[in-house]
Chain A
Amino acid sequence: MTEHRMPLTGGCTDTPILKQRGQREVFCGLTGIIWLHRKMQDAFFLVVGSRTCAHLLQSAAGVMIFAEPRFGTAILEEKDLAGMACANEELDREVARLLERRPDIRQLFLVGSCPSEVIKLDLAKAAERLSKEHAPHVRVLNYSGSGIETTFTQGEDACLASMVPELGATDRRNLLLVGALPDVVEDQMKKLVGDLGIDDVQVLPAPRSDAYPEVGPNTVFALTQPFLSDTAAALQRRGARHIPAPFPFGEEGTTAWLAALAEEFGVGRDRFEQVTAAPRARARKAIAAQAAELSDKSVFFFPDSQLEIPLARFLTRECGMRAEEVGSPYIHKEIHGPDLALMEQGPTLSEGQDVDLQLDRCRAARPDLTVCGLGLANPLEAEGLSTKWAIELVFTPVHFYEQAGDLAGLFSRPLRRRAALKLEAAR
């Protein structure tokens, strides 16, 4: 079994991290709602914030906003800012109206925003109060997705962490797989894990509130997403143990991730081979089709989602790319460590951002491909750089074997397009 295990030290483990502070061109945690509400089918996400928050959700959700989605914003008005007591009453009224209108809702998340945090509106207490009021039909939870506290995908972390104290207790030795994945990917993951012979498996977040997983001192958990440090800590506080592993991107990442579980559960080498051989071959083949385009090309990551390190590991090791800089909003050594250990030394690792300085570095490096947010993508294209906009990596199925080729394709397509477009006169 051990041959599939990846080293936990080496590579970029000891590379000094460039930490800069300045203007950050990133989303706040509220954006997590856009994909979380699709995963949790009986949940409603009520942001308590300003018109800016509503406008952000609208801009980020795009056409999704028109599908009567299960999220909304209780917009603070001037009168709410005048006195606290009033704000609580207003909130209770809006929640009651909402729940009356949407009787299908079983979990309500009160999501804190910058304005609600700054005026110190106590949403935790509000959640407690409203939980009592609307029990047992609706469970009311609270987390902060504010920009002052969370960056983009950290919103999911804050949300899942808020659910951990609500999980039932157990003494079973169960496996918890943590992180919201597209349904198709989740099904593949469960099948692989099941085929390895691990049978007591639950996922967080669960699709419905009546299927919350249980947790206890014999629980082990693996993360499927690299931005879940608070959730991991909350699970550890409940006695569960983390299985460190590289993240399941690409053939190698998926195999290493599964190998960590296999080792934990004492799965035999033959069985592991039997389960993974065919999909590994498929993944390698699919990646190879895209890697031709990517090989020997340089890549530069602006910070966005914390997926940057594992993705850089995938692109450098499996697609032959060269990383110039790998920026991440936050780097957690205990979580990103296994991926860092696999990445060859060379790239600058940066945590946080001063966007103008980072743009200067990017322009100086002139990478073949720049992974960045939508606020930077077109301006950089106009400067002649090829870009891959990062948000797509959060919304598109990219994890595990069957998506490995698609994942590489997301990076090769901009390069292919650049080569394909011939807009100059022919003569």
Chain B
Amino acid sequence: MKLTVWTYEGPPHVGAMRVATGMRDLHYVLHAPQGDTYADLLFTMIERRNHRPPVTYTTFQAQDLGSDTANLFKTAAQDAYDRFRPQAIIVGASCTAELIQDDPAGLAETMGLPVPVIPLELPSYSRKENFGADETFFQIVRHLAKPVEKTARVTANILGPTGLGFRHRDDVEEITGLLADLGVEVNVVAPMDATPADIARLGAAHFNVLLYPETGEAAARWLSREHGQPWTKTIPIGTGATRDFVAEVAEIAGVRPEADESRLRFPWWSKSVDSTYLTGKRVFLFGDATHVKAMARVARDEMGFEVVGLGCYNREFARDIRALAKDYGVEALITDDYLEVERRIEDLAPEMILGTQMERHIGKRLGIPCAVISAPVHVQDFPARYSPVMGFEGANVLFDTLVHPLVMGLEEHLLAMFREDFEFHDEAGPSHHGGKATRRAEAPGGEDGGPAPQTPRSISAKMMGEDAAPAEGAPAPAAGSDVVTWLADAERELRKIPFFVRGKAKRNTEKYAAERGVTEISVDTLYEAKAHYAR
């Protein structure tokens, strides 16, 4: 057993739903108890779909347990076929149904439905959502893809986009356009918007473009083996990766590697002087492995950030991420426990987080700006506007996404210049966040300047809940703060440091002092530490 509050991934049958909901004319009959229909609202609300997911649940209840559930399954499958007349049906069990020993595959087979019935084995107690999507898509492809003649013109399939995928809708459009520029036509996009009939003619393409290894790699491997289709390994996220992708496609397809870069603005935006302040911004990356891998390159090589840490929640890609971390000279964090992520972020004290919805909230709590780069995401990351993250327009989108949470360069400069100004003090808040500038409250004791600013509250304090009193005699949470004290002068000096780097300055100074056995921090200690840590 493992105590969990946040989960980065749902159970595997939700992955299967993502494939089914992404497709058309396919129906999923899911053996599941009453209540599992909650997953419908992920699609109707977060993704704002205008139709119900094509899923029929058996919704068995306690009184049905026993032999009745098998009949219930058969009835549900028959009703679903009669009502929806899909081209193919996938059948499977959710976590509870996995325990009750009905065999959806066997039951469905005996029914003699006039369409292909594809059984799914999704181990709910050991695997998760991404596996469920990957495996489901693989099984669909394995059952339905027929040997077919290759198209006369050079075509490719786009593999991996699903329902509830982070920016999948617009990535597909962007990459379809990019391929068209190169003279490569798209044969089938799958699972997104594909019908079982489309899956049958996957083999007609000359090669596959795998956009999301998490949800399409098993199918890509199988198609490579059975249909001789090579697949692209580069994920076209960021300027450099998109150019690499163009080169890779050109080589596989035998076309000229000339893509239209006329709308690509990222490189110039990043070179322009207002971006200079981005240099060496310390960033931490976390999310699904594919997006983290791609975004680490964007962050370091294209934005000029310093990557201080990275990790992913999907263990299937742990090896890749470890190798990547080595390249970047940082330690990989492979975990699905958000508390570990939070701890790591706190330790590293980055200036920016590139992460998921969870990291956005961790960032909010710790006062660190965050941009969302990966699922799981919430409704605001299924935007109405065109916002791919792949291809050249995707690169433009990424530049904006990564810069907006940071205070703009000029604004940052002005804030630093006027940091003691009555309007530009700490509590005023960034002007573009809708806050209203307020005058600084007079500190009690006039010159004293008030207490030293707080480092973010520790995790242990948060675990106790908002209203919990700290246990008596518990050590002070901030590392080092129980052994070193700040002299009043040093405290005042610390307050002059802009608020967005002050936490780091405080920690560095305390660390510096602790390492040297200094118990009282003076202005000199502060500046010695600053010189020591200067890059």
A interface, CB within 8 angstroms of B: 22-31, 41, 46, 48, 50-52, 54-56, 58-60, 65-78, 80-81, 87, 90-91, 93-94, 97-98, 101-104, 114-115, 117-119, 146-149, 151, 356, 373-379, 381-382
Is there contact, CB below 8 Å, between A52 and B1?
no
A75 touches B2 (CB 8 A): yes
Q: Decide: A378 and B49 in contact? CB cutoff 8 A.
A: yes
Of the A-B pairs whose beta carbons lie under 8 Å apart in the complex, a sample of 17, sorted by A's number, is: A22-B79, A23-B37, A50-B125, A52-B94, A65-B6, A72-B4, A74-B2, A80-B1, A104-B467, A114-B33, A115-B96, A118-B96, A147-B34, A148-B34, A375-B37, A375-B40, A376-B44
Q: Please determine whether A77 and B464 come into contact, CB atoms closer than 8 angstroms.
A: no
Which residues of chain A are within 8 angstroms of B60 by Cβ–Cβ distance?
A: 148
* Given pairs A24-B34, A25-B40, A73-B3, 20 additional interface contacts (CB within 8 A): A23-B58, A24-B37, A30-B35, A51-B95, A52-B11, A55-B11, A55-B14, A56-B35, A58-B5, A74-B2, A74-B4, A75-B3, A76-B125, A78-B123, A94-B2, A102-B463, A104-B465, A114-B95, A118-B99, A148-B65
- A378 to B49 Cα, complex, angstroms: 7
Does B38 contact A94, Cβ atoms closer than 8 Å? no
> What is the CA–CA distance of A91 and B1 in the complex, to the nearest angstrom?
7
- Asked whether A373 lies within 8 Å of B62 as measured between CB atoms, the reply is no
Q: Which of B6, B58, B124 contacts A58 (CB 8 A)?
A: B6
A114 to B172, CA, bound (A): 38
With A73-B3, A148-B65, A374-B45 already in contact, the answer to whether A52 and B95 are too (CB < 8 A) is yes
B38, closest chain A residue (CB): A56
Which chain B residues border A375 with CB–CB below 8 Å? 37-38, 40-41, 44, 52
Neighbouring A residues of B74 by C-beta, 8 Å = none
**Chain A residues, Cβ within 8 Å of B95:** 50-52, 114-115
Q: How far is the CB of A148 from chain B (nearest CB, A)?
A: 4
Name the B residues within 8 Å of A91 (CB-CB): 1
Most chain A CB within 10 A, of B35, B37, B57, B467, is at B35
Q: Which residues of A contact B94 (CB under 8 A)?
A: 52
The verdict on B225 contacting chain A, using a C-beta distance below 8 Å, is no
Asked whether B100 is an interface residue with its Cβ less than 8 Å from the other chain, the reply is yes
- Report which of B1, B33, B50, B462 forms a contact with A87, defined as CB distance below 8 A: B1
Q: Which residues of B contact A148 (CB under 8 A)?
A: 33-34, 60-62, 64-65, 96
Whether B35 lies near A68 (C-beta < 8 A) is no
Contacts A80-B1, A103-B471 given; does A50 touch B124 at CB 8 Å: yes
Number of interface residues of B (CB under 8 A): 63
Give bound CA distance, A73 to B2, whole Å: 8
Shortest CB–CB separation between residue A278 and chain B, in angstroms? Answer: 36
Question: Which residues of B, 58-75, contact A by the 8 Å Cβ criterion?
Answer: 58-62, 64-65
**Bound complex: CA of A81 vs CA of B124, how far in Å?**
12
Is A356 within 8 A of B83, CB to CB?
yes
Give Cα A27 to B464, complex, Å: 30
Contact between A379 and B468, CB atoms less than 8 A apart: no
* Whole-angstrom CA separation of A66 from B366 in the bound complex: 13
Closest residue of A by beta carbon distance from B56: A23
The reply to whether the CB of B361 lies closer than 8 angstroms to some CB of chain A is yes
Nearest chain A CB to B273's CB is how many angstroms away?
Answer: 37
Q: Which of A94, A101, A114 contacts B35 (CB 8 A)?
A: A114
Quick one: which of B79-130 are within 8 Å of A by CB?
79, 83, 94-96, 99-100, 123-126, 128
B452 at the interface (CB under 8 A from A): no
Contacts of B96 in A (CB 8 A): 50, 52, 114-115, 118, 147-148
Q: Separation in Å of the A59 CB from the closest CB of chain B? A: 6
| B467 and A41 form a contact (CB under 8 A) | yes
A81 touches B5 (CB 8 A): no
User: Residues of B contacting A151 with CB < 8 Å?
Assistant: 34-35
Q: Is the CB of B126 within 8 A of A78?
A: yes
List residues of chain B with CB within 8 A of the CB of A66. 6, 358, 361, 364
A58's nearest neighbour on chain B, judged by CB, is B7
Enumerate the 9 nearest inter-chain pairs by beta-carbon distance, A residue then B residue, closest first.
A147-B35, A28-B35, A375-B40, A382-B50, A114-B96, A50-B95, A66-B361, A104-B468, A90-B1
CB-defined contacts of A118 to chain B, threshold 8 Å: 65, 96, 99-100
Q: Are the CB atoms of B35 and A51 closer together than 8 Å? A: no
Is A77 in contact with B462, judged by CB distance below 8 angstroms? no
B76 within 8 A of A: yes
Instruction: Out of B62, B64, B99, B364, name the residue touching A81 (CB < 8 Å).
Output: B99
C-alpha gap A80/B3 in the complex (Å): 13
List chain B residues, Cβ under 8 A from A73. 3-5
Q: State whether A378 and B48 are in contact (beta carbons under 8 Å apart), knowing that A73-B3, A102-B468 are contacts in the complex.
A: yes
Query: Using Cβ atoms and an 8 Å threshold, which residues of chain A touch B263?
Result: none
Q: Is the CB of B1 within 8 A of A23?
A: no
Residue with the greatest number of chain A CB neighbours at <10 A, chosen from B6, B52, B124: B52
Contact with A along B1-27 (1 / 0, CB 8 A): 111111101110110000000000000
Query: Which residues of A have CB within 8 Å of B42?
Result: 59
CB-CB under 8 A from A103, the residues of chain B are: 464, 468, 471
Complex Cα–Cα for A148 and B76 (A) = 17
State A27–B35 Cα separation when bound (angstroms): 4
Q: B465 and A102: CB pair below 8 A?
A: yes
Bound complex: CA A75 to CA B34 (Å): 19
CA distance A333 to B15 in the complex (A): 42
Q: For B470, give the chain A residue with the smallest CB separation.
A: A103
Instruction: Tell me if B36 is interfacial: C-beta within 8 Å of chain A.
Output: yes
Task: Contact check, A23 vs B35: say whether CB atoms are below 8 A apart.
Answer: no
User: How many angstroms between the C-alpha atoms of A349 and B358 in the bound complex?
Assistant: 43
Given that A78-B125, A118-B65, A118-B99 are contacting pairs, would A97 and B37 also be in contact in the complex, using a CB cutoff of 8 Å?
no
Q: Judge if B466 is at the interface, Cβ distance under 8 Å.
A: yes
Kindly report which residue of chain B lies nearest to residue A374, judged by CB atoms: B41
Known: A51-B128, A75-B1, A374-B45. A24 touches B38 (CB 8 A): no
CB nearest to B376 among chain A residues: A58
Q: What is the bound-complex CA distance between A171 and B191, given in angstroms?
A: 67
Nearest Cβ distance between residue B301 and chain A, in whole angstroms? 32
